[in-house]
Structure 1
Amino acid sequence: MSLFALGLNHETAPIAVREKLAFSPEELQRAVTELSAVRGVHEAAIVSTCNRTEVYAATRDEAAVLHWLAESRQLRPDEIDPYLYRLPEREAARHAFRVAAGLDSMVLGETQILGQLKDAVNEAQAAGTLGPTLNGLFQRAFSVAKDVRTQTAIGANSVSMAAAAVKLAERIFPDIAELKVLFIGAGEMIELCATHFAARQPRRLSVANRTLERGQALAAQYGGDAFALAELPDRMAGYDIVVTSTASQLPIIGLGAVERAIRARKHRPIFMVDLAVPRDVEPEVGQLADIYLYTVDDLAEVVRQGRAEREQAVVAAEAIVERGADDFMLWLGNRALVPTIRALKDQAERLRRHELERAMKLLAKGEEPAAVLESLSLTLSNKFLHAPLAALNQGDASQQSGLVDAVRRLYHLHDEE
């Protein structure tokens, strides 16, 4: 059984592909359960965010993981294969550690991914698919991430997706304080965006959410108002900026609804940021003349600002990751020895107890203790040596040299002996 990771991210696949392979939070537990039921897959965990979908597995059949991933999304393996990376053993560990540390993120050093990784681990634990190998991998990933963040300046001067959305809005509108801003959804990303936009003191701040109570709770933090998502088509025209990030598997803002909103606004522009994967806004909306639509991929240039200043921190962070990968592989290698060590100890214990019982019976019959002890020691010695001596005597010429070296090393034999 080997550690294996399979996935794609914002570097290897466009959003149009990533959204096809995305798993909603509600799907994760069922998905890892199905994956772990595939023959040859013993442990499984799935990480799915707006920028990546990754499958981590303890398996001997890597092809089975690929086929399952494709079939679970109603796709053919050849449709997704060009966008995937396959990472065995140490490469998988190194990648997981880089992800946890924010080194593989669109926003270098961002911390949100760490929470998303922990969510993936919790889902796998709840499904019973997180065994010792993957649990060891992720616990070490969290430890490496902590070391990177405490020992380097990887997060310094980073520009978050939320901050990037504000920067882009200010390129289009001179003063956000004069505008009305609408947030669709009430999750962590929307809360981050609301914090950044609220700092610009917009004229109005509203939240549209499927669950009205949750939307009201978020809006109240910033002095805003909330309404039900079902009212969105009729109320969208009243907003200059729309930021959306929901877990919907289908677009919630269609071309027709946006066209009606633009007509009602007499073609005053709307700035829209779609941070969801799968996308909340139909792609065709971006083709409208009075709509400025940006997806997570469109924000890449802005969020990468300041990266040059942090290159020294990246070098230090990568060194921590490499050490972490080495330590993990050592741990993994030691774990692979456990069954052999246990079997060896069990065999020695069986021999010991068997001979001890025989000796106790002889003593009970009145046999001379010294003779019984001598017999016990000789028998144990012969039985312990039987297997290595038989291997040496029966091995062919091509094996002799290796067997001799192994026996000498195991029993600490020297030439004078």
Structure 2
Amino acid sequence: MAVWALGINHKTAPLDLRGRFAFALDQIAPTLQGLRQTLTERTQHPQVETAIISTCNRTEIYCAAAQPALEHTLGWLAETGGVQANVLRSHSYTLQDGLVARHAFRVASGLDSMVLGEAQILGQMKDAVRAAEGAGALGSTLNQLFQRSFAVAKEVRTSTDIGAHSISMAAAAVRLAGQLFEDLGEIRVLFVGAGEMIELCTTHFAAKSPKHITIANRTLERGEKLAARFGAEVMRLADLPEHLHEYDAVISCTASSLPIIGLGAVERALKKRRHRPMFMVDLAVPRDIEPEVKQLEDVYLYTVDDLASVVQKAHANRQAAVAQAEAIIDAGVQSFVHWMELRSPAAQQGAVVPLIQQLNAQTEQWRTLEIARAKKLLAKGEDIDTVLDALARGLTQKMLHGPLAELRAGDAQARQQTAQTVSRLFLRSQSKSGL
């Protein structure tokens, strides 16, 4: 089984190109069906596994099949985004097998994000995996890859300080607004959208107690739910142009495929404001605010890419945590590659898999016997510490009986070989034994 990935992100592709390949969560299932059909037709592999992760900063396709099909995958994505394959190739990255695992683990852990250590990407990956499962596009190989990604990310979060000094996009927006306005408590803020990113931004701005907060959303019900948390007003998206001039700060992040705040609307708003400055943040991919707005003299417009320099200032404080996280990821990659090797045709035809199955069956039998013995002792009223000690001793004696018997048998050369094997299996260092 081969695993491959194709992607573009904030490091390799400009914002407008990324916008061509942005998929809303409800588009993932039909998009995956189209991708699988294309790959099946072009490669003759009927069991192609696929998943797509699409966020503000990245679009990545993960696949697994009997043979890799990177060029076909790139061709399909180029067609989908309406660009030439060579253009996409110049802004994309391709990975195979172990490198796919390393990349997925780093993405899940927040090491490949614009905001180093941010946690939002993990939830976005889980949403993408659920969408792939719902579309019937996820098989055992990609499922294993992503479940291991989530496990590695959890270990990174709990074992390191990778997120301790993280500055989020939302916090960066507040910081930039504070550089323009002397007192954030005196401004009126408009949030366009009602998704997770807008919720984060609203939380950060609300902490500064602005004079007024309004949530503008396509559907009032969702906007009202978010507004209720912050004592904010709600506005229909259709009414936005008429009221835009009332706001000093506008933060937008919707799933619209076209800009919803145009140059003309902002020009009219500035005229009504008598050219008092407006602070605008466009966190959407594709853009919510027409890029020409940035050229207006009294508008301070920032995109997700513009915020990069702000969110990276705490980067140095996290380098020790990054080194720890990379070590955890290394171990995870080795484990995944080993799992893949065991599933190869050569391994399946050999003695490795049957031996593993026999070992699992044997240890399960020992476990069952010792638990049954422990339950009998507890039923007789034996002390629980004594029972636990007997349970542990019984298991270890069963595990060591065979190796100890071999160490005592045979000639000197055979004993020496056995000693080396037993030492390698049972006397590994703690760090190695955890791999």
Farther-moved stretch of structure 1 (308-317 vs 37-46)? 37-46
Instruction: Give me the TM-score of the superposition, normalised by structure 1.
Output: 0.81
Percent identity between the two aligned chains: 55
The equivalent of 2:256 in structure 1 is: 248
Say if 2:194 is the partner of 1:200.
no
- Find the counterpart in structure 2 of residue 63 from structure 1: 71
Equivalent residue for 1:340, pick from 349, 358, 372: 349
111, 122, 127: which one pairs with 2:119? 111
| Cα distance in 1 between the residues matched to 2:326 and 2:230 | 39
Aligned residues: 344
Q: Is the 8 A contact 2:9 2:18 kept in 1?
A: yes
Counterpart pick for 1:172 among 162, 168, 180: 180
Residue matched to 1:47: 53
CA contact (8 A) 1:24 1:249 kept: no
Match status 1:35 vs 2:41? no
- Write the deviation string for residues 127-173 of structure 1: whole angstroms up to 9, x where unpaired: 10100110000000000000100110000111000000000000111
* 1:292-345 C-alpha deviation (Å, 9 max, x unpaired): 000000000111121101100000001111110110000011111465359x98
Higher CA-based Rg: 1
Aligned residue runs from structure 1 range 281-300, under 5 A? 281-300=289-308
- Paired residue secondary structure (1:221): helix
Contact kept? 1:159, 1:303, Cα under 8 Å: yes
1:376 aligns with: none
Aligned mates of 1:76, 1:11 — CA distance in 2: 20
Aligned residue for 1:17?
17
Does 1:141 pair with 2:149?
yes
Residues 62-83 of structure 1: CA deviation (Å, up to 9, x unaligned): 1111111111122221121111
Shift of 1:27: 1.3
- For 1:154 and 1:63, the matched residues in 2 are separated by 35
Contact 2:342 2:348 in 1 (8 A): no
Deviations 1:372-399 (A, max 9, x none): xxxxxxxxxxxxxxxxxxxxxxxxxxxx
- Cα deviation 1:75-130 (Å, max 9, x = unaligned): 22112111100101111110000000000001111110000000110111011010
Q: CA RMSD in A?
A: 1.3
Q: Does 1:232 align with 2:240?
A: yes
Give the AA of the match of 1:55.
I
Per-residue CA deviations over 1:210-269 (Å, capped at 9, x if unaligned) read 011111111111111001000000011000000000000110011011111111111011
Over residues 188-228 of structure 1, what are the superposed CA-to-partner deviations in whole Å (9 max), with x where a residue is unaligned? 00000000000000000000000111111111111110010
Matches within 5 A, 1:214-233: 214-233=222-241
CA distance in structure 1 between the partners assigned to 2:201 and 2:303 by the alignment: 14
Structure 1 residue 213 corresponds to structure 2 residue 221:
yes
